[in-house]
Structure 1
Amino acid sequence: MFAVVLVLDIVRLKVPAMNRFVFERFGSIIREREGKRLTGTPPYLLGIGLSFFLFSPEVAAAGVCFLAFGDVAAAIIGQRFGRTKIWGKSLEGTAAFIVAATTAGFLLHLFGIGLAPWIMLTGALVAAVVELLPIPVNDNLVIPVVSGGVMELLLRLAA
């Protein structure tokens, strides 16, 4: 799946007519800067795949949920209400990330994902910090992998 999406994204960049078509159809969910570079989809899929390859299913699921819910909340709240900027991101967006990721983590816990609430909370906070930091790698890749790595380490230390 990752390879197919990556190839399609590269073709989109190389064929102007395809790029226009994609933006006409999906422009509301694609950032304007992605018109000249890869979208966030390949790193998103790679982050999910690496998470499930590297970590226990519970940890991978939590990291992916932090990305899916936290990153979206940060983008929506940050763009709409973000006033206090740090490293080009808003603290309001970061707060929304923390709330959404923590909520997702606790819902996973309620539905039987076997991670202690303190591990989920730590993972959510790590994911929010990773999203905030000005790192040169797409956060769609980094959020689930780094937060998952921290949670996996904590899970093993607590055992």
Structure 2
Amino acid sequence: MKLFCVHERIEARRKLNSLSKEFFRKTIHICTAFVPLGIHFARIPVVCAVAAAGLFYIVCETLRMRGREIPFISDVTAAAARKRDENKFVLGPVTLVVGIVAASLLWDEVPASIGILALAFGDGLASLAGKTFGMVKIPLTQGKTAAGSLTCFGAIFCSAWLVSRDSFLAMSVAVAGAFIEVLPLKDFDNLLIPVLLGGIAQFV
């Protein structure tokens, strides 16, 4: 009985630690929602600043992998890293930056904003909802949940509609976004979501 209780406590702590890491990661994710506001007022300077931040991260992460810790940056990376990223180059921030920059340069302001907000809220909230409330797993998705997918759909639909005021466009983007999010793409959904959904918003 005591061993069972100890095991339960260890498992509860593990889940809490995993959830806190995910919350921290997705808080950074959701902060990218400020980028559309920036590109509205100063598109090129903001895109350059985001790209520069990405390059700075690559340098810091490369140094970290070689055993040279960078104050604050390495701590943030370690705090946000998933178990699968342990002792590896953490790729998520790189694909996040590339996705945002690509969407900003490829599409007009409104479609680019829709793609970036879909990444910020759709993908960001889906993971949190899945880890917190996800009881029903979707087969062949490496652990994705129905709660996460529904949250992703709702968040993308709402953000796309608020930007475009077009229900058909918002529905199209939300369906595509929920489909992409449920695929086991790991960190590459950060790249595909803003670019592909921005493209859909551009041409629908």
TM-score norm. by structure 2 comes to 0.64
1:18 is aligned with what amino acid? Answer: E
Letter in 1 for 2:125: A
State the Cα distance separating 1:140 from its structure 2 match: 0.6
Indicate conservation of the 8 Å contact 1:71/1:97, yes or no.
Answer: yes
- Counterparts of 1:23 and 1:9 in 2: how far apart (Å)? 7
Gapped runs of 5+ residues in structure 1? 111-115, 155-159
Q: CA deviation at 1:56?
A: 1.1
Percent of residue pairs identical:
27
**1:36-61 deviation digits (Å, cap 9, x = unpaired):** 23241111010000001111111010
Count of aligned positions: 148
**Quick one: which of 31, 39, 47 aligns to 2:82?**
31
Matched, 1:108 2:159: no
Q: What secondary structure does 1:18 align onto?
A: coil
Change (3 A) 1:20 1:8: closer
Give the C-alpha shift of residue 29 in structure 1: 3.2
CA 1:137–1:41: 2 relative to 1, 3 Å: closer
Which structure dedicates a bigger proportion of its chain to helix?
Answer: 2
For the pair shown, the structure with the greater C-alpha radius of gyration is 2
Deviates more, 1:6-15 or 1:99-108: 6-15
Instruction: Give yes or no for the alignment of 1:122 onto 2:169.
Output: no
- Residues 123 and 181, structure 2, Cα contact 8 Å, conserved in 1: yes
Q: Using a 3 Å threshold, how does the CA distance of structure 1 residues 82 and 136 change in structure 2: closer, same or farther?
A: closer
Q: CA RMSD of the aligned region, Å?
A: 2.3
So what's the TM-score if we normalise by structure 1? 0.80
Indicate yes or no: 2:69 matched with 1:18.
yes
